[in-house]
C-alpha cells in the first residue's frame, strides 16, 4: 500500500470483518482513521484497540442526517478528509413472499443509501484535497442474482450502478471512485449462513458453513490458477506480452469464478461460451459436446497448438482442400 501519512479516512461499518481489516491496513500505511458502527460499545472498543490515530464515531449510515454528522465530526477533529470507504452493509436472505417491507427498506437504506449519503456529504472535502478517493465495497451479488437475495441483490446491484455514475460525475473534481466486489470472505457475515448439503433432497442430510465451503473451493481454484500462471510464464505469455484469458468449461459460469481467476492471473478474463448447435438432439447440444465440436471447428482454422508451444510464439498457417479435411479428422480423433 502507498504511504498515506497525513491522510484521513472514514471507513463505515468498521468494527469487524472486512471493515476492520481495511481500517487496520490504512493505519499501517500511515493514515488517521475514523471507525464507525451503529452501536457505541463496539466503536469504543475498536477505537481503543487500534490506537491514537483512530477516532470512533457512532452513526447509523442508513440515515442521511447521521452521515452528514459523521463527515462533519471527522473534519472538525482532523481538519480534513481524503478517503471514504463505504463498507457498511447487511443481508436479510428470504424469498420475496416472506420478506417484509421493513426488511427490504433496511437493506436498501444501509447497503445503497449509505453510499449516496456519505459520498454526498464527503464530496466537498474530498474535492478540496485535490486527491480524494471514494471506495465502495459491493459484492459479487452486484452482478450475480441468487434465490433469497431479493433485497440484497437489488441493493448491491444499485451500488454498482451508483459507483459507475459517480465516476462520471466527479471525474473533473479531483476525486477518484472505485468499487470492490468481494466474494465470500471468512467473516462473521458468512459464518452465519448455512448451505444445505442436499438442497433438493433430504433435509436430514444437514448443512455446511458457507465460509468453510468457500474456503475449500478457493483453495482448489488457487492451485489451478497457480499452475495456469506458471504455464503462461513458461510459454512467454506473461507480463506485458500476456493478453486476455478465456475461461470455458462446465464451471466457467459459476458466480465469482471468472473474477477469482482474473485476480489470480492478473489479467482480464472473459467467459467463453460454446456455440449453439441447432438441429442436434439434447444430449449432443449440451455444453460438453458443444465444446468438443467447437474445438474441432477451431482446429480446422489451424490455430496455435498449445501442446507444442514452447518458450516462443508459434506462427499460424491456413489450410484448404484436402489439408483442411485431414486437419478436421485429426482434431475429431484427438478430442473425441
Q: Which of 187, 68, 47, 186 is nearest to 117 (CA)?
A: 68
Q: Which of 152, 172, 313, 335 is catalytic?
A: 152
Catalytic residue at 335? no
In this structure, which CATH number among 1.10.3210.10, 3.40.50.720, 3.10.110.10, 3.40.50.300 belongs to the domain 8-182? 3.40.50.720
In Å, how far are 183, 211, 237, 267, 331 from 186, measured between CA atoms? 10, 5, 33, 25, 44
Q: What is the model's pTM?
A: 0.61
Per-residue pLDDT of the chain (336 residues; tens, 9 = 90+): 678 899 999 999 998 888 999 999 999 999 999 999 999 999 999 999 998 899 999 999 999 999 999 999 999 999 999 999 999 998 888 889 999 999 999 999 999 999 999 999 999 999 998 889 999 999 878 887 877 888 989 999 999 999 999 999 998 888 999 988 876 555 555 545 566 656 566 666 666 666 666 666 666 677 777 777 777 777 766 665 566 677 766 566 666 677 667 766 766 777 766 555 566 565 555 555 555 555 555 555 555 444 444 444 445 556 667 877 777 777 666 655
What are 1's three cell numbers? 500500500
What are 220's three cell numbers? 482448489
In Å, how far are 23, 98, 161, 165, 184 from 17, measured between CA atoms? 10, 28, 24, 28, 12
Domain ranges of the chain: 8-182, 282-335
Cα end-to-end span (Å), the chain: 49
Amino acid at each position: 500500500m502507498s504511504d498515506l501519512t497525513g491522510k484521513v479516512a472514514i471507513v463505515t461499518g468498521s468494527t469487524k470483518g472486512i471493515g476492520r481489516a481495511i481500517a487496520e491496513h490504512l493505519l499501517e500505511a500511515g493514515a488517521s482513521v475514523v471507525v464507525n458502527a451503529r452501536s457505541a460499545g463496539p466503536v469504543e472498543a475498536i477505537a481503543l484497540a487500534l490506537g491514537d490515530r483512530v477516532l470512533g464515531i457512532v452513526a447509523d449510515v442508513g440515515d442521511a442526517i447521521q452521515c452528514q454528522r459523521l463527515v462533519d465530526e471527522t473534519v472538525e477533529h482532523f481538519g480534513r478528509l481524503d478517503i471514504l470507504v463505504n463498507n457498511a452493509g447487511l443481508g436479510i436472505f428470504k424469498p420475496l413472499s416472506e420478506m417484509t417491507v421493513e426488511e427490504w427498506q433496511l437493506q436498501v437504506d444501509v447497503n445503497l443509501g449509505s453510499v449516496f449519503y456519505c459520498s454526498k456529504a464527503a464530496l466537498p472535502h474530498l474535492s478540496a484535497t485535490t486527491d480524494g478517493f471514494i471506495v465502495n465495497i459491493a459484492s459479487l451479488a452486484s452482478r450475480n442474482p441468487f434465490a433469497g437475495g431479493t433485497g440484497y441483490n437489488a441493493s448491491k446491484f444499485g451500488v454498482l450502478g451508483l459507483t459507475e455514475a459517480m465516476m462520471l460525475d466527479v471525474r473533473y473534481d479531483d476525486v477518484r471512485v472505485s468499487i470492490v466486489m468481494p466474494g465470500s470472505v471468512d467473516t462473521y457475515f458468512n459464518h452465519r449462513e448455512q448451505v444445505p448439503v442436499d438442497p433438493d433432497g433430504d433435509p436430514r442430510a444437514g448443512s455446511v458453513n458457507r465460509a468453510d465451503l468457500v474456503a475449500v473451493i478457493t483453495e482448489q481454484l488457487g492451485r489451478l490458477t497457480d499452475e495456469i500462471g506458471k504455464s503462461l510464464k513458461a510459454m512467454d505469455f506473461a507480463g506485458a506480452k500476456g493478453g486476455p484469458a478465456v475461461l470455458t468449461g462446465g464451471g466457467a459460469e459459476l458466480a465469482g469464478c471468472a473474477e477469482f481467476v482474473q485476480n489470480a492471473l492478473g489479467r482480464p478474463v472473459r467467459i467463453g461460451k460454446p456455440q449453439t448447435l441447432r438441429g442436434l438432439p439434447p444430449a449432443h447440444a449440451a455444453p460438453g459436446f458443444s465444446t468438443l465440436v467447437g474445438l474441432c471447428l477451431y482446429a480446422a482454422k489451424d490455430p496455435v497448438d498449445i501442446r507444442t508451444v514452447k518458450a516462443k510464439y508459434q506462427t499460424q498457417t491456413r489450410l484448404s482442400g484436402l489439408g483442411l479435411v485431414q486437419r478436421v479428422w485429426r482434431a475429431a480423433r484427438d478430442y473425441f
